[in-house]
Amino acid sequence: MLNVLSVASECAPLVKTGGLADVVGALPAALAHEGVGFRTLLPGYPAVLKALGDAATVYTEPNLFGGPGKLLAGTAAGLDLLVIDAPHLYDRGGSIYLSPKGRDWPDNPERFAALCWMAARIGMGAIDDWRPDVLHCHDWQAGWVPEYLHDMGGTGKVGTVMTIHNIAFQGNADAAKIPALRLRHSRMTKDGYEFWGRASALKAGLMGADKLTTVSPTYARELMTDSFGMGLDGVMRLRSADLSGILNGIDEEVWNPATDPEIKPYKTPRGKAANKAALRAEIGLDEAEGPLCVMITRLTEQKGVDLLLEAMPTLLARGGQLAVLGSGDPAFEDALRNAARNDQVAVHIGYDEALSHRMIAGGDAILVPSRFEPCGLTQLYGLRYGTIPVVGLTGGLADTVINASTAALDVQAATGIQFNPITAQSLRSALSQLCDLYADSTTWAKMQKNAMRQPVGWGPSARAYAALYRDIAPSS
């Protein structure tokens, strides 16, 4: 059995702000079939400690970035967990990253440096009866792990993987924090963790880990370009030989239209009709001639919310409807509330996991007009439920949706619609094409069946991760 410690700031279903949590939560079960044993290291947020319940203290750190910290071992939600109990860092209101006023916690660099410090300690053998062969570090919050591991003399004693879920979030801190973060000033260079005069946790991970991964093959290629690398494209090109694009999967037990307790279960696209009627009744939409489109997302520019607002009249003019679930930029929230004055538009500001299942089951199409999307999960949920994805041609969206081109339609292989360039005008054209396809009941039914047959699980990706782990695990 190969032992892996997954190091992350969030993990579904315990604590979640986005797709990162879904992936971290799904990996242990996915890799179990590959002979990989997982433990997941998480900060001790109140929700995590509450779910953990009784747990054993397996390690103590007298001064964990401003106060004492304990490492607790236990299980919750079927996950084998190590949780950092450090109230001075994690016992607070607001979200896990933001204060109740919606601003980053000023000590976020220290809060997640503590996560990395404890991961490195575990990698060095801090726990008496368990030691990982590989530390799998997720996003900038785990970026300092290779740096600390090196300083503790751990290079070569445990393998390290750094996964980029979204390179836009880099964990950059003022250089004045270097002493507080327990970093060496000598590493504040272009070959170390320096990034435009700041200390970058993500760059540290990218420079120091044995292997790098990201969450789709197309995003791996995009990261090496000026347009998508967010200033780190040079680093990505430097490490290109160690970079893999491993596509995310979804939990096919949680997302299964045949057994989903939140919906009227179905095994074929015909079963969507009852869910569509129930969804319309729930969100206050009448029957309509065109497709019911759903969008479940963070309301940000990255996600193309502004493009949707511009293109929406095209959908509505063709008899289509729109239902949106999400929260984010207050300006987009207000714009969507205003759009919902139209009786063919329904908007729910906030997040509701159960409602997301009902929307995906009841929708005809799911809109993902992202300007960039490392992998994306909502289009995978859509495919699983026979809800046709309309996506921008980028990242994992390019890798997971078979575009309804003339050739794909001729061989009856299409599963969705891709549009490029990612502009409001292109989205208008995609929505017009969607309405045309929806009006052709034979073609539409075939696309739904294709979508529901599309592989969206973890099997191939789990095998790729297992091979990567074995490649970097120290020989016994």
353-366 pLDDT tens trace: 999 999 999 999 99
pTM, whole model, 2 decimals? Answer: 0.92
pLDDT score at 101: 85
At the top level of CATH, the class of 269-453 is alpha beta
Task: Give residue-wise pLDDT tens across range 52-87.
Answer: 988 999 999 999 999 999 999 999 999 999 999 999
The 3-state DSSP class for residue 56 equals: strand
Evaluate whether 2-249+459-472 and 269-453 have a shared fold.
yes
Is residue 127 packed enough to be buried (19+ CB in 10 Å), middle (13-18) or exposed (0-12)? middle
User: Which one has a higher pLDDT value, 118 or 155?
Assistant: 118
Instruction: Give the integer Cα–Cα distance in Å for 88 and 240.
Output: 39
Q: By the 8 A CB rule, do 298 and 371 touch?
A: no
Residue 191: CB atoms within 10 Å: 9
Kindly write down the DSSP assignment for every residue of 275-335, as one continuous string: HHHHHHHHHT----SS-EEEEEEEESTTTTHHHHHHHHHHHHHTT-EEEEEEEE-HHHHHH
Check whether the bond before 421 is cis (ω within 30° of 0).
yes
Kindly write down the DSSP assignment for every residue of 215-241, as one continuous string: S-HHHHHHTTSTTTSTT-HHHHHHTGG
Confidence band for 475, pLDDT divided at 50, 70 and 90? confident
| Residues 280-315 as b or e (16 or more Cβ within 10 Å = b) | beebebeeeebbbbbbbbbbbeebbbbbbeebbebb
Classify strands 388-392 and 417-419 as parallel, antiparallel or unpaired. parallel
The 194-195 sheet, strands edge to edge: 172-173, 198-200, 194-195
| Joined tokens for residue 228 | 């998508």
The amino acid present at 147, given as its one-letter code, is: E
* In the predicted structure, residue 373 carries a pLDDT above the cut 90: yes
What are the two backbone dihedrals, phi and then psi, of residue 82, each rounded to the nearest 5 degrees?
-120, 125
Task: Give residue-wise pLDDT tens across range 211-254.
Answer: 999 999 999 999 999 999 999 999 999 999 999 999 999 989 99
* In the predicted structure, residue 317 carries a pLDDT above the cut 80: yes
Instruction: Give the integer Cα–Cα distance in Å for 37 and 25.
Output: 14
**Percent of the chain residues past pLDDT 70, beyond the cut:** 100
Q: By the 8 A CB rule, do 334 and 340 touch?
A: no
* In the predicted structure, residue 476 carries a pLDDT above the cut 70: no
pLDDT score at 362: 98
The mean pLDDT value of the chain amounts to 96
pLDDT score at 155: 87
pLDDT score at 53: 81
pLDDT score at 414: 98
Q: Give domain limits for the chain.
A: 2-249+459-472, 269-453
Q: Which residue has the tokens 């002979």?
A: 35
pLDDT score at 325: 98
Task: Give residue-wise pLDDT tens across range 16-26.
Answer: 988 899 999 99
Cα separations in angstroms, 228 against 137, 166, 194, 207: 21, 10, 20, 18
pLDDT score at 19: 86
| Alpha-carbon radius of gyration of the chain | 23
Residue 154: CB atoms within 10 Å: 19
Instruction: Give the integer Cα–Cα distance in Å for 58 and 89.
Output: 19
The amino acid present at 339, given as its one-letter code, is: A
CA-based nearest residue to 347, from 361, 360, 362, 332: 332
Mean pLDDT across 108-136:
97
2-249+459-472 CATH fold:
Rossmann fold (3.40.50)
Instruction: Give the integer Cα–Cα distance in Å for 390 and 407.
Output: 18
* Residue 16 known to bind ligand: yes
Task: Give residue-wise pLDDT tens across range 163-180.
Answer: 999 999 999 999 999 999
The 3-state DSSP class for residue 104 equals: strand
pLDDT score at 17: 87
CA-based nearest residue to 81, from 105, 106, 47: 47
Cα separations in angstroms, 226 against 43, 198, 221, 381: 34, 20, 11, 30
Task: Give residue-wise pLDDT tens across range 149-165.
Answer: 999 999 899 999 999 99
Alpha carbon distance, N-terminus to C-terminus of the chain? 12
CA-based nearest residue to 438, from 317, 290, 303: 290
* In the predicted structure, residue 454 carries a pLDDT above the cut 70: yes
pLDDT score at 85: 98
pLDDT score at 54: 86
pLDDT score at 94: 83
According to DSSP, the residues that pair with 66 across neighbouring strands are: none
According to DSSP, the residues that pair with 391 across neighbouring strands are: 368, 418
Residue 197: CB atoms within 10 Å: 9
| Joined tokens for residue 302 | 């990255």
Confidence band for 93, pLDDT divided at 50, 70 and 90? confident
Length of the chain: 476
